[in-house]
Amino acid sequence: MADDTDTGADRGLRSPLRRRLLMGLAGAPALALMPRTAWAAPETAAVNTTGLAVTDSEVTVGILHSITGTMAISETGAQQAEKLAIQQINEAGGVLGRKIKIIQEDGASDWPTFAEKAKKLLVNDHCAAVMGCWTSASRKAVLPVFEQYNGLLYYPTFYEGLEQSKNVFYTGQEATQQILAGLDWVHKEKGGDSFYFIGSDYIWPRTSNKIARKHVENVLKGKVVGEEYFPLGHTQFNSVINKIKLTKPKVIFADVVGGSNVAFYKQLKAAGIDLSKQVLMTISVTEDEIDGIGGENIAGAYACMKYFQSIESENNKAFVAAFKKMWGEKTVIGDVTQAAYLGPFLWKMACEKAGSFDVDKVVAASPGIEFKGAPEGYVKIDENHHLWSKTRVGKAKPDGQFEIVYTSPELIKPDPFPKGYQ
Amino acid sequence: MTNPVQTLTQSVTVDDNPFMKPVEWLSLAVLAGVILVVLPLTLDGFRLNLVGKYLTYAFVALGLVICWGYAGILSLGQGVFFGLGGYCMAMYLKLEASSIENTKIQSTPGIPDFMDWNQITALPWFWQPFKSLPLTLILAVAVPVLFAMLISFAMFKRRVGGTYFAIITQAIAAILTILIVGQQGYTGGINGITDLRTLHGWDIRTDHAKVILYFVNGGLLLACILAAQYVKRSKLGRILVAMRDKEDRVRFSGYSVAGFKVFAFCLAAGFAAIGGAMFTLQVGFMSPSFVGIVPSIEMVIYAAVGGRLSLFGAVWGTLLVNWAKTTFSESFPDLWLFGLGALFIAVVLAFPNGLAGIWREHIEPRLTRRVKGLRAPSPAIVPPHGAPAE
Amino acid sequence: MLGDYSLGDLGAIFAMQGFAGLILFSVYLLMALGLAIIFGQMGVINMAHGEFMILGAYVTYLCSSFFQAYLPALFPIYFFIAMGLAFLASGALGMLVEWSLIRFLYKRPLDTLLATWGLSLILQQAYRSIFGAREVGVELPSWLIGSVQVTDTIEIPINGLFVMAVTILITLSVALLIFRSRFGQQVRAVMANRAMAGAVGIDTEKVDRYTFGLGCGIAGIAGSAFTMIGSTGPTSGQLYIVDTFLIVVFGGAASLLGTIASAFSISQTQSTLEFFLSGSMAKVITLLAVVGILMLRPQGLFTLKVRR
């Protein structure tokens, strides 16, 4: 990652000076002290009235993901996609004529660190936007920071909903968007009427399962025969697998995350549960996770996402090729990686529509923005800062890719506060 | 438990001074000067708030100096007490932030948002006391201290040894983390208690409030140092040292060893709790990631880097490690763990007495020589320092 | 909850549940054996134990990739070679660590904790830099996948049986080594009284180094075996550390038999509770019970009478 060290060294030299200039002397007086930029300065003054880190040639954007700690496993892809998007934007001329400069910070899989680094990116570095966070906990930790300092966060993960902030754009799906279409499909196509829920013990699986339970019980008129949660990082699933065998559900509905995932699918396979006969639907396994699980251990399972690497479209082929060129032939692209890729583009379009980097103007310009070049296909930003998107069901293949068996016909409206599901 | 003689000489020097040696007064003045004057003048708001956050860990390190350095009880579960103190404070702030007005979109207004998401319709009983500020301030210290008493009394009565105690406290930290994460309807789960706004109507999020909280924090820390110094210099402190070095002799001399150990452990827990409460106020949220094993061990390391026998060292050590952590991770996000790991190993191998040891062995002698050269000779006050007794 | 099921079903489930417990027991015992030697015998609090396990797992990963690419004919038996290499790699690293770090700290057991914690941070970052932050998938030979059909309803996972076999083998070897061999005699002598052992002509430094290496090597084997049931990533090792220490302490630190007994009781409790309760609560109750018992009986289940 040569560019990391670049930005690091660069920042080390420049930031104190820049900070002082920006802090003390916002606006016109600063221009007199910066002869180099004073020439074309009117433009900068026009697009940046709130003291963001924007010069005549550059605009600074933060990337805030875990590079170390347990979450680094998941967040690597997102962070790579954001860098790719920014590189592509820069090659195409940047945003409002300015190249994007990246400042990357490590959240270290630790929520308070995320808050600290978010604050640094906003207060110290004056980032015009931040791409980042993965877990709900990290987002909850940085949210007050972004609201207080009026920052702009593009959050890539599918998540539990129940949140909407002026300062955040959610480029992943919220829970109802992701789950309901998948449940309908499994009910209709696989005759799923009894479900066994198994998840990691934290807010996203619990909320997702709550929504799924309401849908199963009230809409599909099926029943939930079991609901189990295990601590994050749990690696022994033999007992629950026995319980699954005892209750014989039509569908296992899994939202286990992280390292537990690997253990769960390996043990499921070892216990003789054949996923070509037993229907298993997961909302937490993307191509990224399969890398660790091993394709042969999960082949036959269904995943419900908005994006799979195997989507057949020009947009996606170009994206996959560019991603592999930048990060290596072996890397795979999951749902969150793709959603992270959208962030910089959506921000760029909003800036250009607003004709400004000012957060308030960018936020005001965002609703209604359409991105036709998204790898997943056409997406649109809703009034509620989430994206309209399609939901797909993929069947895992032994080579680690998904075969797409269902795509929702229409874009699904995001609904972070679903009525009847709370 | 090898080196009673060395530590004996150390505690003997105590006798001719009632409270603090001149050098220690000087150290205190320097520390107070740096925390209360130099840093606020030189750092911008963001960095000052960061230092404020680090200083809340210094409370824990301070407790560890008493409990580990002086009494020989290594706890790998200090995060539990830090977390409990922080959670108590966070519960109060959360209730204040969840007024009926602020939460009117919920199905049950007036309760914290995460309870509403988990279909809880009334405030659970153990949240009730946290509606009152005075009660909260008492509980934020009392709950962790009582919990510490419960744990330590059972164990020290049965003479659980050092390493065992460390591992049991570590297990307790693990249990509490799983419990907090699992009971998310009552505790906020893995997200912790977030989005805290006001303390008794006073907005704690403004820059002005942060500066005030920083000074409150600094003041409390200095007060805790003085309290710890008092304990250290009292007869109690000497019994603790004697106990660490030859527990049986102290027991045979008729002292209740368990009682003193429980006291030291509870004192450390109390300090940690104050730190936790101040953390919540300054950072604006509390999360179960502080209760776990990793932060608990890191806090031990702050004390080790500073020097496990030095109260001032604990504060400097905390500042140094956190400064290093922040700088490394800002400059080399990919590599900073190497530096941190190497620092720990270096401290243990090369500087077992941490910063305080370096000061005492290398800098202080030179200073005294210089001073002596200028004035009339006075008796040496610096005993030689070897490896810490274990 | 059991009222709705036929007797046959219940019998099958209880049989499988029993096996689930036994598999968990094997896993716990394998995790704890290495530490039982390092912590139990030598008194070193090795917080990097999990990282030594993960080293074994990464060695297995490298082996599986290597055999797949260059020696596909031998792929079915690569796992045995991988376990051997894992033992050697972790053992060698262990001896290096003992030589460069631990040997200075025998008189300060609590300090070994800090130093090895630093070591674990370094190893984690090293794994991340070398193998990437993502988890790696270890492909298994086909005969290790799937289950044995005992009756119509009872199925036993093969990899579970394999882990059990490995555990039994390693436990027996360790027992023989410690209690029947000359080396074992020296180890026990050094642990009982270092100065005296040195006085009668035992090279204590060498014994220390090999003992530490042995413990780490066993951790490597455990890590290698766990690639069959768990994940392999830079931080996976941390998942095991609390459980492992508790098992050793609960057993009574200096007793091999105690470690076996404690692994057995903890695994059975947890496995049974998991069947009746939610996973999180089962874990909490198990840990609480262990801590509670340790408070009442701090010396653990079994104790060895030694003069310290």
pLDDT tens-digit series, residues C222-276: 999 988 888 888 888 887 888 888 888 888 766 788 899 999 999 988 888 888 8
Joined tokens for residue B276: 């936790």
Number of neighbouring beta carbons within 10 Å of residue C180: 10
- Token output for A363: 């936020």
Encode chain A in three state secondary structure: CHHHHHHHHHHHHHHHHHHHHHHHCCCHHHHHHCHHHHCCHHHHHHHCCCCCCECCCEEEEEEEECCCCCCHHHHHHHHHHHHHHHHHHHHCCCECCEEEEEEEEECCCCHHHHHHHHHHHHHHCCCCEEEECCCHHHHHHHHHHHHHCCCCEEECCCECCCCCCCCEEECCCEHHHHHHHHHHHHHHHHCCCEEEEEEECCHHHHHHHHHHHHHHHHHCCCEEEEEEEECCCCCCCHHHHHHHHHHCCCEEEEECCCHHHHHHHHHHHHCCCCCCCCEEEECCCCHHHHHHHCHHHHCCCEEEECCCCCCCCHHHHHHHHHHHHHHCCCCCCCHHHHHHHHHHHHHHHHHHHHCCCCHHHHHHHCCCCEECCCCCCCEEECCCCEEEECCEEEEECCCCCEEEEEECCCCECCCCCCCCCC
Contact across the interface for A422 and B107, Cβ inside 8 Å: yes
Task: Tell me the pLDDT of chain B averaged across its residues.
Answer: 84
In a domain, residue C307? The reply is no
* Residue C2 scores a pLDDT above 70: no
The pLDDT value recorded for residue C3 is 54
CB-nearest to A137 from B49, B117, B287 is: B287
Whether pLDDT at C151 is above 70: yes
- From the CA of B357, how many Å to the nearest CA of chain A? 30
Q: What is the mean pLDDT of residues B108-136?
A: 89
A394 Cβ neighbours under 8 A, 6+ residues apart: A302, A303, A305, A308, A310, A402, A403, A404, A405
> Total structural domains in chain C?
1
Whether B83 contacts B290, CB under 8 Å:
yes
* Band of residue C63 on the pLDDT scale cut at 50, 70, 90: very high
Answer whether A232 sits within 8 Å of B181, measured CB to CB.
yes
Q: Residue A348's closest CA among A155, A170, A99, A4?
A: A99
Convert the pLDDT of each residue in B247-288 to its tens digit. 888 888 888 888 889 999 999 999 999 999 999 999 888 988
Nearest to A346 by CA among A173, A177, A171: A171
Min Cα distance A311 → chain B (Å) is 33
CB contact under 8 Å between C137 and A294, yes or no, is yes
Does pLDDT of B181 surpass 90? no
Rounded to the nearest 5 degrees, what angle is found at the Cα of C253, between the Cα atoms of C251 and C257? 50
**Residue of chain A with shortest Cα separation from B203:** A148
User: Residue B390 is nearest to which of C109, C287, C295, comparing CB atoms?
Assistant: C109
Q: Give me the pLDDT at residue B18, please.
A: 62
Alpha-carbon distance B300 to nearest alpha carbon in chain A (angstroms): 18
Residues 239-298, chain A: which have Cβ within 8 Å of C? 239-243, 245-246, 258-263, 266-267, 269-272, 288, 290-296
Size of interface B-C (CB pairs under 8 A): 129
Mean pLDDT of B172-187: 89
For the ranges B217-231, C78-92, C191-205, the lowest mean pLDDT is seen at: C191-205
Token readout for B174 is 């693990």
C-interface mutation test, from A227, A243, A257, A266, most C Cβ less than 10 A away: A266
| pLDDT in the model for residue C83 | 93
- Greatest extent of chain C over all pairs of C-alpha atoms, in Å: 70
Q: What is the pLDDT of residue A337?
A: 95
B154 and chain C: CB distance < 8 Å anywhere? yes
Task: Note the pTM of the prediction, 2 decimals.
Answer: 0.85
**Where do the domains of chain A lie, and which CATH numbers do they carry?**
2-173+320-388 (3.40.50.2300), 175-305+391-407 (3.40.50.2300)
Minimal Cα–Cα distance from B5 to chain C, Å?
Answer: 16
- Give yes or no for residue B1 having a pLDDT over 80: no
The answer to whether A73 contacts C232, with C-beta atoms less than 8 Å apart, is: no
Chains with ≥3 CB–CB distances under 8 Å to C: A, B
> Which chains touch A (3+ CB pairs under 8 A)?
B, C
Q: Does C135 touch chain A (CB under 8 A)?
A: yes
Query: How much is the pLDDT for A20?
Result: 42
Q: Do A203 and B334 touch (CB under 8 A)?
A: no
Say whether C118 and B348 touch across the interface (CB within 8 A): yes
Interface residue of A76, A164, A202, A230 to substitute, partner B, most B CBs within 10 Å = A202
Cβ-Cβ contacts under 8 Å, A75 against chain C = 133
The pLDDT value given to residue B383:
42
Residue C230 lies in a domain: yes
CA nearest C276: which of C264, C285, C265? C285
Collect all residues of chain B within an 8 Å Cβ-Cβ radius of residue C119: 341, 345
Map tokens 């509905």 to a residue.
A253
Confidence of residue B245 (pLDDT cuts 50, 70, 90): confident
CA distances from B119 to A243, B113, B122, C26 (A): 26, 10, 9, 40
* Least CB–CB distance from C245: residue in B167, B172, B349: B167
Q: Is residue C29 part of a domain?
A: yes
Which residue of chain B has the CA closest to C253? B164
Q: What pLDDT is recorded for position B378?
A: 44
User: Does the distance separating the beta carbons of B352 and C108 come in below 8 Å?
Assistant: yes
CA–CA separation, C121 and C123 (whole Å): 6
Q: Determine what percent of chain B is predicted with pLDDT higher than 70.
A: 90
pLDDT one digit per residue (tens) for chain A, 422 residues: 334 434 433 444 344 444 444 444 444 443 344 443 333 433 788 888 898 999 989 999 999 999 877 788 788 899 999 999 999 999 999 999 999 999 999 888 888 889 989 999 999 999 999 999 998 889 999 999 999 999 999 999 999 888 999 999 999 999 999 999 999 999 999 988 899 999 988 888 988 999 999 999 999 999 999 998 888 878 888 888 888 888 889 999 999 987 788 889 988 988 888 899 999 999 999 998 888 888 888 999 999 999 999 999 999 999 999 999 999 998 999 999 999 999 999 999 999 999 999 999 999 999 999 999 999 999 999 999 999 999 999 999 999 999 999 999 999 999 998 887 76
Least confident of A341-350, B38-47, C153-162: C153-162
B347 touching C (Cβ < 8 Å): yes
Please give the residue of chain C at the shortest CA–CA distance from A240.
C275
**Taking CB atoms and an 8 Å limit, are C245 and B171 in contact across chains?**
yes
State the virtual CA torsion across A377, A382, A387, A388 in degrees, nearest 10: -50
* Number of inter-chain CB pairs under 8 A, A vs B: 106
Instruction: Residue window 187-246, chain C: list those with CB within 8 Å of chain A.
Output: 226, 228-236, 238-239
Chain A: nearest CA to C295, how far in angstroms?
A: 25
Give CA–CA dist C208/B32, Å, rounded: 47
Chain-chain contact of B189 with A203 (C-beta, under 8 angstroms): yes
Query: Is residue C134 situated within a structural domain?
Result: yes
State the pLDDT at residue A313. Answer: 93
Best residue of A10, A23, A111, A138 to probe chain B, by most B CBs closer than 10 Å = A111
Q: Residue C77: give the domain boundaries.
A: 22-238
Q: DSSP H helical segments within chain B, as ranges?
A: 4-12, 22-33, 39-42, 45-64, 78-97, 113-117, 133-157, 162-182, 184-187, 207-233, 235-245, 247-252, 257-283, 293-306, 311-331, 336-350, 354-358, 364-374
Mean pLDDT lowest among B57-61, B117-121, B231-235, C267-271: B117-121
Q: Lowest-pLDDT range, A152-161, C116-125, C142-151?
A: C142-151
B: neighbours with 3+ CB pairs under 8 Å?
A, C
Beta strands at A194-200 and A168-170: parallel, antiparallel or unpaired: unpaired
Query: What is the three-class DSSP state of B366?
Result: helix
- The pair of structure tokens assigned to A148 is 């207080």
CA-CA distance, C290 to C148, in Å (whole number)? 34
Reported as a pLDDT band with limits 50, 70 and 90, residue B9 is: very low
Alpha-carbon gap: A227 to the closest alpha carbon of chain B (Å): 14
Q: Is B58 exposed, middle or buried (0-12, 13-18, 19+ CB in 10 A)?
A: buried
Half-sphere exposure of B235 toward its Cβ, with a 13 Å CA cutoff? 2
Q: Is residue C218 part of a domain?
A: yes
Q: Cβ A231–C158 below 8 Å, yes or no?
A: no
Tell me chain A's radius of gyration from C-alpha atoms.
22
> Per the structure block, which two tokens stand in for A360?
């308030």
Whether A4 and chain C come into contact, CB under 8 Å, resolves to: no
With CB atoms and an 8 Å threshold, state whether B171 touches C246.
yes
Q: Please answer yes or no on whether C228 and A292 come within 8 Å at the CB atom.
A: no
Chain C residues whose beta carbon lies within 8 Å of the beta carbon of residue B164? 249, 253, 294, 298
Q: How far is C297 from chain B (nearest CA, A)?
A: 8
- Whether B195 has a pLDDT exceeding 90, the answer reads no
The answer to whether the Cβ–Cβ distance between A231 and B182 falls below 8 Å is: yes
ipTM value of the model? 0.84
Residue from the list A75, A76, A270 with its beta carbon closest to the beta carbon of C158: A270
Dump pLDDT digits (tens) for B303-348.
988 888 889 999 999 999 898 888 877 777 677 788 888 888 888 8
Q: A76, A104, A134, A236: best mutation site toward chain C, by most C Cβ within 10 Å?
A: A236
**Rounded Cα gap, residues C249 and C40, in angstroms:** 8
Chain B residues in contact with A5 (beta carbon < 8 A) = 332
Q: How confident is the model at residue B17 (pLDDT cuts 50, 70, 90)?
A: low
Q: What angle do CA C67, C68, C73 make, to 5 degrees?
A: 70
Residue C253 lies in a domain: no
Provide the 3-class DSSP secondary structure of residue B27.
Answer: helix
Calculate mean pLDDT across residues B58-70.
93
Chain C residues in contact with B341 by the CB 8 A cut-off are 118-122, 125
What pLDDT score does B224 carry? 95
Residues of B in contact with C238 (CB under 8 A): 294
Smallest Cα–Cα separation from B184: which of A112, A136, A110?
A136
CB-nearest to B348 from C105, C107, C290 is: C105
Task: Name the residue among B174, A133, A201 with its Cα closest to residue C239.
Answer: B174
Distance CA A358, CA A416 (A): 26
Q: 267-306 in C: which are within 8 Å (CB) of A? A: 270-271, 274-275, 278-280, 282-283
- Confirm or reject contact between A68 and chain C (CB < 8 A): yes
The residue in chain C having the minimum alpha-carbon distance to the alpha carbon of residue B345 is C115
